[in-house]
Structure 1
């Protein structure tokens, strides 16, 4: 069994977004004993109040012709703030959300009592852990059968978030994939090229052999040509000297999510690039999937990442820290605090 994963793939679909981790290295937000992440962003007033009996919340939403959305947050999370202010702060997005969903906020470190879908009493933090919530914000959308039909791990930019709300809210998840639905809309501006590098593994990929024979961890980049976040990852974040040094310690395979190249996956299955991406639940590009020879897939981060997050993920895997600290948020908090104590300021959006 793998020691840690970024999230559990939940039927019917997982929408993957910006993987947002909260750290607080600056002096005005420095962690104090007993605190996890300082800071608080007030949710919109139209969020629903709840006794956190999830079964009752699903039924209430169903009776109103809507679906239940659970919003997992943590204090001091900059991407939670972006979600609340940049997304829900737009009138059309707020109206779209209210039309299709009852939204309830849950603190991933909170102690309020929750009754889960099976009727078991637990706490917010244990409920989040049971659902493998590693990123904030995380949004879970439930149907009337108490099943999770949509999951957004992290932050979607407003145009993509708007599409996701419509896709799940209009119950299209069984009719069309989100990627196909999103591509029907106006394409995002991008260079239109895949940014491959010399020295990376070349197709057709035999990733099982590469992982077994090389000994270095494997980083799989699921990407597509028309992807502005992929452009930013390659032309900025991975081009920085510290990122280059970390990246050199990985084998890297770039997988075109629309490609036909043959692939032998790290698990030894023979498939195509597009089929592997689809069967793995990759619905956002870029997706970064990390494997080690000892543990297989260690962690997966999907969506828009900035420099601190990308470098932290690489160090998390390279140092084997995931074995001792399976909760990524705590690792990131400690790493940010360590950098702060060295006089290095961490800007999460740099």
Structure 2
């Protein structure tokens, strides 16, 4: 057997394996399902080897209160932008995970995107966020408070911070 033939067979085998493990993530369908499940899409963007992503997963997402709140109230969708074979379907377009992150304007990791029932971005949180802070963001989104006030106003209203406390987490974008 020639070396060229062996390399060709190996290349075909590898590409078939990648296709077998590739995932299609249909965010359009997830947005439509919001109407029947009452769970809005919450998209977690991360990349392989990202220390802040690993910390968010290990401490924040694994926290019992955060985990239970997400499970009860959101359609949690995980997208690893390092997986180049995955296909994201968003607003009728097919793209790679990295292209989706860039299109959404969140090519920073970790990022958590909250979408409405039409798939539009309602809120995004960037970077590592501690459990209690993330739980507050989840409540802010689930109660639709984001429609009438900023996250800082919500923190004050809920007693999370008082007038004398410096506002935290300026990374939150509305």
Q: Report the TM-score, using the length of structure 1 for normalisation.
A: 0.39
Match for 1:61 among 14, 34, 45? 34
Match for 1:176 among 142, 149, 174? 149
Instruction: Provide the residue aligned with 1:160 in structure 2.
Output: 133
Instruction: Provide the residue aligned with 1:226 in structure 2.
Output: 166
Report 1:1-350 matches (<5 A): 51-111=24-84, 112-117=86-91, 119-183=92-156, 184-187=158-161, 226=166, 284-285=169-170, 302=171
Separation in 2, partners of 1:91, 1:54: 26
Judged with a 3 Å threshold, the aligned counterparts in structure 2 of structure 1 residues 81 and 139 are, in CA distance, closer, same or farther, namely: same
| 3-state DSSP of counterpart to 2:147 | coil
Separation in 2, partners of 1:129, 1:176: 27
| 3-state DSSP of counterpart to 1:173 | helix
> 1:73–1:106: 8 Å Cα contact kept in structure 2?
yes
Q: Which runs of 5+ in 2 are unaligned?
A: 1-22
Separation in 2, partners of 1:128, 1:162: 23
| 3-state DSSP of counterpart to 1:70 | strand
Structure 1 stretches (4+) deviating beyond 3 angstroms? none
Separation in 1, partners of 2:55, 2:69: 17
Compute the displacement of 1:132 (Å). 2.2
Separation in 2, partners of 1:181, 1:102: 23
Judged with a 3 Å threshold, the aligned counterparts in structure 2 of structure 1 residues 116 and 129 are, in CA distance, closer, same or farther, namely: same
Larger helix percent: 2
| 3-state DSSP of counterpart to 2:123 | strand
Instruction: Provide the residue aligned with 1:37 in structure 2.
Output: none
Compute the displacement of 1:163 (Å). 0.5
Q: Which runs of 5+ in 1 are unaligned?
A: 1-49, 193-224, 230-283, 286-301, 304-350
> 2:39–2:74: 8 Å Cα contact kept in structure 1?
yes
Separation in 1, partners of 2:76, 2:102: 20
> 1:52–1:113: 8 Å Cα contact kept in structure 2?
yes
Separation in 2, partners of 1:123, 1:67: 22
Judged with a 3 Å threshold, the aligned counterparts in structure 2 of structure 1 residues 150 and 126 are, in CA distance, closer, same or farther, namely: same
